[in-house]
Amino acid sequence: MNELFDLSGAAAALGIGLLIGLERERHKGTGATRDSAGLRTFAITALLGYVSLQVGAALLLGIMATCVTLLITVAYWRSLSDDPGVTSEIALLTVLVLGALCGTAPALAIAIGVVIAGLLAYRDKLHHFANSQLSEVEMRDGLVLLIAALVVLPLAPDRYIGPYAAINLRTICTLTVLLMLVGAIGHVAVRTLGTRYGYVVSAIASGFASSTVTIATMGQRASLEPANIRTLGAAAIFSNLATVIQVGLILATVDPSLLRSVWAPLCCGLLATALYGVCLMFPDPGRGASSEPIKSAGAFNLKLALVVTLTMTGITLVSSAMLSHFGQVGVMLTATLTGFADAHSATASVASLAKAGLLPYDAIAAPALIAVSSNSVSKCVVAWVSGGKRFAAYVIPGQLLLTLAMWAGTLLL
């Protein structure tokens, strides 16, 4: 009995039809040249799709879709000379299908309906973005990123191969996509917020994925935008905030008790990084407060992504060899070598050893800080290689200050 009076699906279908129909009603025009479909048509079509699926299943829904298509075709040919577009017609067919979908997955149907309404409402802005704001290079990079993320990455096998079982093709592809994505996020942030704050915001956000990758990206941009080198250096340093925070989160996730031996170094590292980054954010007295506007360049550097990924893979292979030959005795050495590629994985390994009872809780600070220190060394090298001597001159002192501050923090324990 309750199923007979369950009107949630019908209500969802009606809501989708009204939402999209309201947007179309505002743009259908007036007089003899107005569009044929408006608020009432879209609402009724959504309910038609829902009722058709409930009464006659897929067969009746297919018949109704054919009838609606014929009606849309007639209306389209009548208005072809006035409006050659088919947006409203396609939207009406989509509403019919979404109305039917409300019978089985109303939440998904509503989400799709909201997205469609947004695409229709922001038509002019989307057209302006595609025709005036988006360059050919950005379009190409976007397609490359989508192909790598949606086609190549899912096909890469997720298993360890090679000597010491240290090479994982899925990991290699993930790191490459990650580097391209970091560059794209930074590019969008700078286009939106400007160079002064856009680079910093994107660096902090992408630093949670990989601070080393972020510094490499900022260095590559520094070679293209030398006038913004202080801002890019500040962004590179600020990406370390994510590294320090993630180290704390990893330890807390494994066991909150692990934080007792590293809270002071982590706090000192955060403070030192923030202070140095803020100092770099102040404008250069010789240049004033202005910064060079962003150039219409690509969203990322594919060659740089491949070089950094292969370098990290090589370091991981060496670390696996050391662990295989020296066992638990080589924990410190392994943490050092692993830290060159990623401080997070080394910290997670040390935390797992402590959780398993193979390492005392109060002994995790040293290997964790060694991993962060070696990671700082690799960041200095990456900064020099990707951005040159001038960019490294801003980044290296910040990395040195971060490392010294974290080791000094052990004196407070």
Question: What are the average pLDDT values for consecutive 10-residue runs of the chain, which has 413 residues?
Answer: 64 89 74 65 88 86 86 73 68 89 89 89 76 74 85 84 74 77 71 73 76 85 85 90 82 78 88 91 54 52 70 64 61 64 67 66 78 86 89 93 90 76
Q: What is the pTM of this model?
A: 0.55
Neighbours of 116 (CB within 10 A): 19
Q: In whole angstroms, what is the distance from residue 396 CA to residue 124 CA?
A: 46
For residue 186, what pLDDT is reported?
Answer: 66
Instruction: Extract the tokens encoding 193.
Output: 């917020």
For residue 393, what pLDDT is reported?
Answer: 93
For residue 211, what pLDDT is reported?
Answer: 82
Place of tokens 């080393």: 212
Q: In whole angstroms, what is the distance from residue 99 CA to residue 88 CA?
A: 16
Helical pair 365-409 and 331-341, crossing angle rounded to 10 deg: 70
For residue 357, what pLDDT is reported?
Answer: 66
